[in-house]
Amino acid sequence: MNQQIAQISLLVKDYDEAIEFYTQKLHFDLIEDIQLDENKRWVLIAPPGTSVCKLLLAKASNENQKSRVGNQTGGRVFLFLYTDDFERDYQNLIKKEVQIIGEPRNEKYGKVVVFTDLYGNLWDMIEPVSS
């Protein structure tokens, strides 16, 4: 059996502002942007070099979904972004004025810092320990 997670849905308030944040501030690639109907688009983004798991930007369409934008995990870190160069990407977060929560730290699994996306979802950026 061969399975993989292909996409993770990320609730957003607005497609275009989310695309701008992820492509301009985090340097993600816009993989697809297809209009499905008057209000719904199929928008896939991914960090550069990613070939497996992508983020599906899903515009919140009702009050229940809108209440979850920015807090899909009850205040826990939601997504984990691996990097091959922590210092480069950390400096980019600072330069692009992305909100950083706390100082970078070294953990057994690698160097990590927490940051938020434009809606407040928590992310860990990690440079894994070389094996």
Sort 74 into a burial class: Cβ within 10 Å, 0-12 / 13-18 / 19+.
exposed
| Tokens encoding 60 | 């919140």
Written as one string, the DSSP assignment of 28-51 is -EEEEEEE-SSS-EEEEEE-TT--
How far is it, in rounded angstroms, from Cα 23 to Cα 79?
A: 16
**Looking at residues 1-24, what average pLDDT do you find?**
95
Written as one string, the DSSP assignment of the chain is ------EEEEEES-HHHHHHIIIIIS--EEEEEEE-SSS-EEEEEE-TT--S-EEEEEE--SHHHHTTTT-TTTTSEEEEEE-S-HHHHHHHHHHTT--EEEEEEEETTEEEEEEE-TT--EEEEEEEPP-
pLDDT digits (tens, 9 = 90+) for 87-105: 999 999 999 999 999 999 9
| Tokens encoding 63 | 């009050």
Contact by Cβ (8 Å): 52, 6:
yes
pLDDT digits (tens, 9 = 90+) for 37-78: 999 999 999 999 887 899 999 999 999 999 999 999 999 999
Confidence (pTM): 0.93
